[in-house]
């Protein structure tokens, strides 16, 4: 393996760790929301702005065609589905716990959507983005991204 490929894998690993760190910050933010919700925490706002940057870069450049690990797509889809279900269950429990607080019920969808987004990003960097299937074209707005990483 060349030095360039090792560097690319290290960068993908760092991006996956960063996505998981943002997931942890979002979970902590959702767990600590009180009633009434006055505003989002700085971690949620940071995650929101970084998500816009990640979407822009993902739609323009092909970064996640190959992941760090090579695992069967069916298994990755199953693992992502389990992670998604766990996140939705947690969000459902938080909403049920704070159902009488209207501001909480209105405030939880944005951190919840960001949590799912960053989980998908972490899975894409580790296992490649083939598990997304047709959603890749939707996320990329139909554009064909440029491949500047020679990681074939």
pTM comes to 0.84
pLDDT tens by residue, 38-81: 888 899 999 999 988 888 877 777 776 777 888 898 998 899 99
Burial of 138 (0-12, 13-18, 19+ CB in 10 A): exposed
pLDDT tens by residue, 87-103: 999 999 999 998 888 88
Task: Tell which wins on pLDDT, 131 or 98.
Answer: 98
Q: Determine contact, residues 149/50, Cβ cutoff 8 Å.
A: no
């Amino acid at each position: 393996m060349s030095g360039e490929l090792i560097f690319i894998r290290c960068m993908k690993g760092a991006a996956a760790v960063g996505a998981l760190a943002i997931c942890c910050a979002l979970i902590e933010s959702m767990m600590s929301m009180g009633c009434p919700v006055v505003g989002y925490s700085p971690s949620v706002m940071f995650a929101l702005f970084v998500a816009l940057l990640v979407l822009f870069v993902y739609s323009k450049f092909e970064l996640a065609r190959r992941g760090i690990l090579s695992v069967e797509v069916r298994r990755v889809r199953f693992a992502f589905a389990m992670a998604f279900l766990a996140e939705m269950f947690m969000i459902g429990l938080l909403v049920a716990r704070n159902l009488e607080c209207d501001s909480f019920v209105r405030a939880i969808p944005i951190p919840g959507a960001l949590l799912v987004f960053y989980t998908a990003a972490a899975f894409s960097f580790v296992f490649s983005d083939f598990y997304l299937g047709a959603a890749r074209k939707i996320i990329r707005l139909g554009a064909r991204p440029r491949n500047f990483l020679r990681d074939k």
